[in-house]
Structure 1
Amino acid sequence: MHVHVNAAESVDGKLSTRDREQVAISGPADFDRMDELRAESDGVLVGVGTVLADDPALTVKDDERRDRREQVGDPPNPARIVADSRARTPPDAEILDDAAPTYVLVSEAAAEGDVAALSAAGATVITAGSSRVDLPAAFDRLEGHGVERLLVEGGGELIFSLFESGLVDRLTVYVGSVVIGGRDAPTLADGEGFTDPDAFPSLSLTDVERLDDGVVLTYDAEAAEA
């Protein structure tokens, strides 16, 4: 599986405000770039925090891009995927409509009733891990459902976990010309953080593009030394 993380952050590295409120960091050109990334993907993954805060649809917006997908035998929209260890995704969430298949990745700690409610709402629930989602194992299961090109759109806790597990192949970051501030505002990679410099994931900057009033930075993950 090829895992591509895409995010938009302020110039001081924040994804949103300390109240976790969605902020317009990029503009129309970057929204169009993101839509193209979705159109090129088999699945779009977010953490449950993103679902609870924003209730996204995670669908391809452009009609021509949906048509292009269908012309090559793909469904009009990629699968929607939520990393949700305790099955907190609301059964009436936007991603559980009939626009595309939805997979919810949960752990064994998820309550049976919540898992059953998600299944009844149309989600395919994948259980991997005891207290938290075991991402490598869950991704293996997703590959069995045809997800080979995965786009990750946040949030910071999920992105850190992906880096921690060595699962990121490419990172694109839109850096907008705005300062949000706040020590408690979410960043690109939250979670516990790395303490050993030898464990820091290595990235290689492959492209810089000016877009809207900001820049898009593209990085490829460097292979770990044996």
Structure 2
Amino acid sequence: MHVVVNAAMSADGKLSTRERTQIVISGEADFDRVDRLRADSDAIVVGVGTVLADDPSLTVTADALRDTRIESDRPANPARVVADSRARTPVDASVLDDAAETYVLVSEAAPVDRRSALADRGATLITAGADRVDLLRAFAALQEAGFRDVMVEGGGELIFSLFDAGLVDELITYVGSTVFGGRDAPTLADGEGFVTGFPSLSLSSVERLDDGVVLSWTVDR
């Protein structure tokens, strides 16, 4: 499995404002880049915080890209995966519509009625971990389900946890031309933070796009 983390952040490294309000950071050229990356993926992964804050659909926008997927015997859209330890995903969330297959990663601590409600909405549940999702086990299950190219779109807590678990192969960041500020504003990798064993990255490409820059990194092993 190849796991790519893709995120847009402000010039000071914030994913959104301190109020968790989503602000447009990039422009049309970057939107197209992200759409192509989605179209090349088998699955798109987000944390439940992103679902609760933004209600994303996580689907491919361009008709031509969906048609290309169908012509190559793949679904029109990649599968959607939500890391959701307590099964907090709303049953009316966009990720649970019929545009694509949806997986929800839960822990054993998730209430049974919440799990049942998500299953009734068509989600495939993967239970891994006691109190929090065990990402190593959950991603192993995704790999067994046939997913090879996986794209992660946030948020910061999930991204940190994936780095901590050693699951990230590539990091792509769009750095925009604005400053959000705020000590409580979410950053690219939140969570507890590293004090030792910092992940090491090698810069593989730099591309100016819109009024910002796309930095692509590979994770050193």
- The answer as to 2:215 corresponding to 1:220 is no
What code does the residue aligned with 2:211 have?
D
What code does the residue aligned with 2:153 have?
E
* Counterpart secondary structure, 2:161: helix
1:145 is displaced (CA, Å) by 1.6
1:141 corresponds to? 141
What code does the residue aligned with 2:216 have?
T
Q: Please list the CA deviations of residues 147-166 of structure 1 after superposition, one character each: whole Å capped at 9, or x if unmatched.
A: 11100000000000000000
1:195 is displaced (CA, Å) by 1.1
After superposition, where does 1:31-46 map in structure 2 within 5 Å?
Answer: 31-46=31-46
Count of residue pairs brought into register by the alignment: 221
Distance 1:172 1:66 in 2: 22
What code does the residue aligned with 2:207 have?
E
After superposition, where does 1:88-99 map in structure 2 within 5 Å?
Answer: 88-99=88-99
1:179 corresponds to? 179
For structure 1, the 5+ residue unaligned runs are none
Q: Please list the CA deviations of residues 139-195 of structure 1 after superposition, one character each: whole Å capped at 9, or x if unmatched.
A: 111112221110000000000000000000000000000000000000000000011
2:73 corresponds to? 73
- The answer as to 2:8 corresponding to 1:8 is yes
Distance 1:113 1:26 in 2: 39
1:29 corresponds to? 29
Q: Please list the CA deviations of residues 84-142 of structure 1 after superposition, one character each: whole Å capped at 9, or x if unmatched.
A: 00000001100000000000000001000000000001100100001110001001111
Match among 183, 198, 201 for residue 199 of structure 2: 201
Query: Larger deviation: 136-145 or 44-53?
Result: 136-145
1:107 corresponds to? 107
Distance 2:7 2:82 in 1: 16
TM-score (norm 2): 0.99
Distance 2:192 2:209 in 1: 32
What code does the residue aligned with 1:20 have?
R
* Counterpart secondary structure, 1:126: strand
TM-score (norm 1): 0.97
Distance 1:175 1:194 in 2: 22
- The answer as to 2:43 corresponding to 1:48 is no
1:205 is displaced (CA, Å) by 0.2
Distance 1:20 1:116 in 2: 29
Distance 1:60 1:21 in 2: 23
Q: What stretches of structure 1 move > 2 A for 4+ residues in a row?
A: none
Aligned alpha-carbon RMSD (Å): 0.5
* Counterpart secondary structure, 2:32: helix
